[in-house]
Structure formats: C-alpha cells, structure tokens
C-alpha cells in the first residue's frame, strides 16, 4: 500500500478525456452499447457512483456493490478507467424519513427534506455512521479493482447549502469553541462581548448565528463560518482515511469556488485537486482562475477539470446558451496546457428524469449524438495531438501570484467591507478582478493559498484579506527582502484574526512593515474621491485606507484627492531589502481605473524582473511549458472567439477564432 506521500508523487503519463456516467439510471443491457460508443469517441475515463447510494444500500444494512463491480469489469476490459465517488451527497430515503433530526437546518430554521441532494446533516452522528459504513463498503468492494484510477469524495460539497444549524452542529460548535479558546473568559475577551451585553458564562450559551432582530457580532458570525468549513473538511478527511485502508489510488474532491468551503483546509488530505466549472463563452476567464488556483493547490501534482458542459448548462427553470463552435476545444486545450491531467464532461447521456433535464450531454436520452458531440470529437483530436508533448513537459513556474485567503473570504461574507447598493463587494469578485488584469496583460500567474509557499515569486498581489497573520507577513517580508514586490491591495490588514478592528494601527502590523501610518479608514463610493498616480486620474470606490509615509524609505506613488481629507495617499511604496512593499489603499474604478491598475501591474512586473509575460491581444492566452531537459515551449489559445495574436519567443502568432498553436524553441 502506497503512503500518502507516494500517492501525491504519481507522475502524469497520459491525458484523460472523460464523462460522468450513471449506469444505474438505465437498463444494464445498455452498458455494452455505451462502452462501444465511448471507445469510438476516445473517452478513456468515466466518473460514477456519487448519486447511487440507494442502489448500493436499498435497505439499511443491506449493501451490495456487485452491480458496480460488473460495470467496472466491462469498462476495464475496454480500456476505460474509473473515478469512483463516495455516494454520500444523496442518501436513501430510509436515512432521513421520519427523522428530521438527521437533516440539514438553515439559518432561518428550515429543515431540508429528501428529494434533491445535500439534505442530510453531516453533523448528525447517525448520518456520519451511515456515511462511514457505505464508504467502507465501497472501499472493500472496489478499492483494488484494476479499472479504478482515482476516488472522489462526495460531490460538490456545500454546493446548495451553507452553514448547518442542526442541533448536532450547534453542539459541535460549542465543543469547537472550547477547544479553540480554552476558557469562556478568553472568548469574551477576543470577541469584545461587553458590547450589547453579549457576555457569556459558558460555551453552551454561545448562540449559532441564526435569525436575530438585527445582526450578530462579526466575530461570532465569522467564527461559525470557519467552524462549519473545518467540520466539513473533517468529514472529508474521515472518508479519506477509510478509503486508504483498502486502496492505494489517489483521492480528490470536485470543488467550485462559489461553494461554502475552506478550500485550503479541505485540500490538505487530498492527493490531487479537481474542480467543476460550466463557463459560457463570455465568462471563459473564470475557468482560467480555477486552473490557476487548483494547479497551485497541490504543488507537483496535476489537477483535473472534473465537470464541464458539452454545450450548455441547464436545470429546471433555466438553461445557458449553447457554446459556439470551437469553444469547447479552446476550453479543453487551455485546461490541459495550464496543467490539468483530465477534462471531463457532465454528462455522458442526457438524463430522462430528475431536475436537470435540459442539461447538455454527449448522447441524448434517446441515444443519438447531441449538438455538442462533434465538439467532443474535436477535443479528442486535440488531446491526441497534445498528449505526447504535455506528458513530456510541465507548466512553467509562475513568477506572479494572487493570494487566496479562506478566512478573508469568510470575513467578507460576514462584512462586505466597502460595499453598498451601488458598489458590490465579494471576495471572489475581487480575486477575479486582479486575476483578469493579469490575464489581459499576458502575465503567467498562480492563485496561491494564504498558507502556500511564496518560493519563486517576484510579485505577489494580496487583495481583500482583512487579516494578515504574522506567519503570512513573515513570509512576505522574506520574499520582499530577497527582491520580490508585494502589492497589499484594498482592505488587506483592516481587521484582526477575530474579525475586530485593530487598535494599534489602521492596517495592523502592515503599517509598520510598509512604513506608513493609516490616517483614515472609510468608504469612498459615491464621494468625490479621486486617485492620481502614474500621471493618471481615476475615481475610487469601496473601502479606503488613507495613509501617510512614516518611514524614510516610503514614498507616495498616488495621492488621494478629496474634499474630506487632504495631504494623504492611496498608493505608497517602501523599499525593503532588494524589493518593495506597495500599499494600494482604495480601488480605482471604471475605464480609467482599469488603465491605472494595468499601469500599476506593468510598472511592478518590470521592476520585479518578471519574465513570464507576453504581449497578447484581449482574449488570447499564452501557457508556457518546460520540458524535462529544460526546453521551453508555449501553447497559445484564443479564448474569446474573436481571434487574436501573441508575441512568443520573438514571433508574432496569429490565431483565428478559438484556434490554438504549440510553439517550441
């Protein structure tokens, strides 16, 4: 049995092209026909099992995986691998019928019911035991099957639900608080509970943030979010442990960045990361963000695109536009080029029942090729061309990264700092803004977890991270002193770890590190606030930290012009060691703001000596690769369908709509 470290070092030796497969929904006689068509199309992996618990355990304690063994036998004989999923998102009716205490409860007190998915409370001990039993049965029956290439834990954890307020969850919350704080006095001090007479005498008095006449203490609300996300990660960890007792294949979970998870924590015990994304042709950049985060999530291990649509997304009451011809190939090529080992579709055959009837598939419910079938054929042609080249190389190391902070995300969900009716604020939105700027400028980039390594970085951008821990700042300082540049973007440092306002300085420890003094902290949306920097002027919005230099090595790069304050800056730079710390105190807005932000990034990528940057037209992507012998190569893809060009290795590459090209030294 391989150790977890050995599993994490599995080397990519092929590119997978797959689909979600639900043989339990169709006559068993259809399986051979499915397999013949999969082989003809080049599908070499399928994912199955995640919604089939009632087929495995129709009555409590009566478990059989024989059907899935037979299916996997036939798939293996045909050379098709299997990602088998634990079926915990959709338990059978017997688990919750007549047992509301086993169901998920939302913040309004609504008890979820059987009929969709994610309705059980994973905090309930009976539910946890039942989940463990079926996972262990899957591991015993299938863990050594020759078709098995990977496990997937559950499916899209916290896709439809946020924090659980089941009584079992609240009991676990109290225990979690006691473990974290030790004494109720410590909690009271950390949260400042003298406010509004919130002071608690015992941990079991601390409420969960259910409905209250106004709002809960920010410290409490953010803590409950982090508790909930840690607890669901524990649920995943428990399944990993059961699978590893019986099986040596790697384990993953399929994420999406909108789900209510702590992504960094949840990745800890996975062997590789995977994600689901269903972009339309217009929001293709969202998939690039997923690739850049999940590639960096498990360094040295390729990630998977586990679900995307063949032509369009859809469920009862809604469906998205069908992809234009060529988009699916561009989507797949870019994922492979950015480090994905697999591109998989949801789903193989259109569902004839359920709540996702209008969703696209490779085959229709009546088993005819769908509108997207020819595009899947084209992806397979591209995969065959790419496979020898990509197996022999890996993505070039990124020199630029954006910081992803799960605590920062939770804090902005509690307090969308700087947001109002005219200016929406979200953590994912802010990350996307900075990521899009790097895409537009042709900068090869990572999105790295807050706790991730900063090795190799020349420029780090950290937006919307209200709490910057001493550990994080220590690593940032080391990077800067060695020659890197840190851009501390708006709201970063503006709160403490307990979601309180710092009392030592406006940006806490960042003030001293950046050589500044925060004078004012206030919202500037819909005011006369203007920022002037790099010879440009732009309106500002969101939350503003207006600062002054407080160190001889700090200089003003951008002045804040407003009738509410004078002689203050919104952009500063401090030389530190061989690098610099840049504080951006407020977010430029509109077309002028985009121009200024691009000027800011261009200036500091040049100052930091970033080499992995390419002149590109909008909508064109360059993916640099490095071979085992150090040889350089690039995959250039047009993603927006308008055609474009890129200057790579001294050559101008022109692409037609959704075209792609491999360039070698």
Q: pLDDT for 574-591, tens place per residue?
A: 999 999 999 999 999 999
Predicted confidence band of residue 6 (pLDDT cuts 50, 70, 90): very low
Residue 99, both tokens? 């047992």
Tell me the average pLDDT across 607-628. Answer: 97
Instruction: Please tell me the distance from the alpha carbon of residue 314 to that of residue 472, in angstroms, as a whole number.
Output: 41
- Closest to 35 measured CA to CA, from 72, 3, 75: 75
DSSP 98: T
pLDDT of residue 421: 87
The string of pLDDT tens digits covering residues 355-413 is: 999 999 999 999 999 999 999 999 999 999 999 999 999 999 999 999 999 999 999 99
Residue 2 has pLDDT above 60, yes or no: no
Return the number of other C-beta atoms located less than 10 Å from residue 440's C-beta. 17
Tell me the average pLDDT across 194-223. Answer: 97
Residue 109 has pLDDT above 80, yes or no: yes
Whether the predicted model's global pTM rises above the 0.85 cut: yes
Q: CB under 8 Å to 36, separation ≥6 — which residues? A: none
pLDDT of residue 40: 98
Residue 338 has pLDDT above 60, yes or no: yes
Instruction: Please tell me the distance from the alpha carbon of residue 49 to that of residue 419, in angstroms, as a whole number.
Output: 42
- Closest to 411 measured CA to CA, from 497, 511, 305, 312: 497
Residue 4 has pLDDT above 70, yes or no: no
Residue 398, both tokens? 């990124």
Residue 45 has pLDDT above 50, yes or no: yes
The string of pLDDT tens digits covering residues 652-664 is: 999 999 999 999 9
Instruction: Please tell me the distance from the alpha carbon of residue 301 to that of residue 306, in angstroms, as a whole number.
Output: 15
The string of pLDDT tens digits covering residues 245-276 is: 999 999 999 999 999 999 999 999 999 999 99
Architecture of the structural domain at 400-608: 3-Layer(aba) Sandwich (3.40)
Reply yes or no on whether 163 is catalytic.
no
Instruction: Please tell me the distance from the alpha carbon of residue 293 to that of residue 270, in angstroms, as a whole number.
Output: 15
Residue 35 has pLDDT above 90, yes or no: yes
Predicted confidence band of residue 1 (pLDDT cuts 50, 70, 90): very low
pLDDT of residue 490: 97
**Percentage of residues in the chain having pLDDT higher than 70:** 98
- C-alpha distances out from residue 75 to 83, 141, 395, 566, Å: 11, 16, 31, 71
Average pLDDT score over the chain: 96
Q: CB under 8 Å to 514, separation ≥6 — which residues? A: 488, 507, 554, 572, 574, 581, 583
- Closest to 552 measured CA to CA, from 515, 583, 598, 526: 515
Tell me the average pLDDT across 342-348. Answer: 98
Reply yes or no on whether 156 is catalytic.
yes
* From 123, 156, 264, 320, the catalytic residue: 156
Return the domain boundaries, the chain.
400-608, 615-664
**Tally: H helices and E strands in the chain:** 18, 30
Burial classification of residue 348, based on how many CB atoms lie within 10 Å of its CB (0-12 exposed, 13-18 middle, 19 or more buried): buried
- Closest to 398 measured CA to CA, from 450, 452, 455: 455
Enumerate the H helices of 218-276 as residue ranges.
Answer: 218-244, 263-267
The string of pLDDT tens digits covering residues 56-76 is: 999 999 999 999 999 999 999
Predicted confidence band of residue 11 (pLDDT cuts 50, 70, 90): low
Q: CB under 8 Å to 254, separation ≥6 — which residues? A: 152, 155, 156, 274, 275, 276, 306, 307
* From 163, 307, 331, 380, the catalytic residue: 307
Instruction: Please tell me the distance from the alpha carbon of residue 10 to that of residue 150, in angstroms, as a whole number.
Output: 11
Instruction: Please tell me the distance from the alpha carbon of residue 191 to that of residue 199, in angstroms, as a whole number.
Output: 9
pLDDT of residue 565: 83
């Amino acid at each position: 049995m391989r150790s977890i470290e050995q599993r994490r070092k599995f080397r990519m030796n092929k590119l997978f092209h797959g689909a979600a497969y639900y043989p339990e929904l169709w006559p068993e006689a259809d399986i051979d026909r499915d397999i013949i068509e999969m082989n003809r199309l080049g599908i070499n992996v399928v994912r199955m099992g995640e919604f089939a618990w009632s087929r495995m355990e129709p009555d409590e304690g009566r478990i059989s995986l024989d059907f899935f063994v037979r299916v996997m036998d036939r798939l293996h004989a045909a050379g098709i691998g299997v990602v088998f999923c634990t079926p915990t998102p959709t338990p059978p009716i017997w688990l919750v019928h007549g047992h509301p205490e086993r169901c998920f409860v939302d913040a309004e007190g609504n008890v979820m019911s059987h009929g969709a998915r994610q309705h059980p409370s994973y905090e309930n001990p009976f539910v946890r035991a039942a989940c463990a039993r079926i996972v262990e049965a899957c591991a015993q029956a299938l863990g050594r099957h020759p078709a098995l290439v990977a496990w997937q834990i559950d499916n899209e954890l916290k896709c439809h639900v946020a924090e659980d307020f089941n009584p079992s969850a609240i009991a676990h919350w109290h225990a979690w608080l006691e473990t974290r704080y030790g004494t109720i006095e410590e909690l009271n001090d950390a949260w400042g509970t003298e406010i509004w007479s919130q002071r608690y005498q015992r941990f079991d008095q601390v409420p969960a943030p259910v409905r209250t006449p106004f709002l809960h203490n920010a410290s409490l609300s953010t803590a409950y979010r982090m508790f909930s996300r840690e607890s669901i990660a524990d649920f995943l960890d428990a399944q990993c442990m059961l699978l590893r007792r019986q099986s040596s294949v790697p384990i993953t979970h399929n994420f999406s960045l909108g789900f209510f998870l702590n992504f960094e924590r949840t990745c800890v015990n996975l062997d590789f990361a995977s994600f689901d994304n269903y972009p339309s042709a217009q929001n293709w950049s969202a998939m690039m963000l997923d690739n850049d985060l999940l590639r960096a999530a498990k360094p040295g291990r390729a990630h998977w695109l586990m679900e995307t649509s063949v032509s369009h997304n859809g469920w009862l009451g809604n469906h998205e536009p069908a992809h234009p011809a060529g988009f699916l190939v561009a989507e797949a090529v870019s994922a492979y080029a950015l480090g994905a080992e697999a591109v998989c579709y949801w789903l193989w055959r259109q569902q004839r029942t359920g709540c996702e009837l209008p969703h696209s598939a490779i085959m229709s419910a009546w088993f005819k090729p769908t509108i997207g079938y020819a595009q899947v054929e084209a992806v397979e042609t591209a995969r065959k061309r790419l496979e020898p080249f990509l197996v022999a190389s890996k993505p070039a190391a990124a020199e630029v990264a954006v910081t992803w902070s799960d605590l920062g995300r939770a804090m902005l969900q509690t307090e969308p700092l700087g947001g109002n009716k005219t200016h929406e604020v979200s953590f994912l939105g802010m990350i996307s803004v900075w990521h899009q700027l790097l895409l537009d400028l042709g900068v090869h980039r990572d999105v790295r977890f807050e706790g991730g390594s900063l090795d190799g970085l020349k420029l780090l951008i950290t937006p919307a991270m209200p709490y910057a821990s001493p550990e994080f700042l220590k690593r940032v300082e080391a990077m800067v002193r060695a020659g890197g540049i840190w851009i501390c973007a708006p709201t970063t440092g503006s709160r403490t770890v307990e979601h309180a306002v710092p009392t030592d300085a406006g940006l806490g420890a960042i003030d001293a590190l950046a050589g500044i003094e925060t004078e004012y902290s206030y919202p500037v949306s819909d005011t006369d606030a203007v920022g002037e920097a790099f010879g440009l002027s732009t309106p500002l919005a969101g939350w503003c930290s207006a600062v002054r230099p407080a160190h001889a090595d700090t200089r003003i790069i951008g002045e804040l012009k407003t009738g509410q304050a004078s002689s203050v800056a919104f952009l500063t730079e401090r030389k530190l060691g061989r690098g610099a710390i840049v504080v951006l105190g407020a977010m430029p807005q509109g077309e002028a703001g985009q121009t200024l932000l691009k000027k800011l990034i261009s200036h500091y990528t040049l100052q930091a000596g970033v080499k992995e940057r390419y002149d590109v037209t909008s909508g064109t992507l360059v993916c640099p690769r490095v071979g085992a012998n150090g040889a350089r190569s690039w995959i250039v893809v047009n993603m927006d369908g308008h055609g474009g060009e890129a200057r790579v290795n001294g050559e101008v590459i022109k692409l037609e709509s959704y075209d792609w090209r491999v360039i070698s030294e």
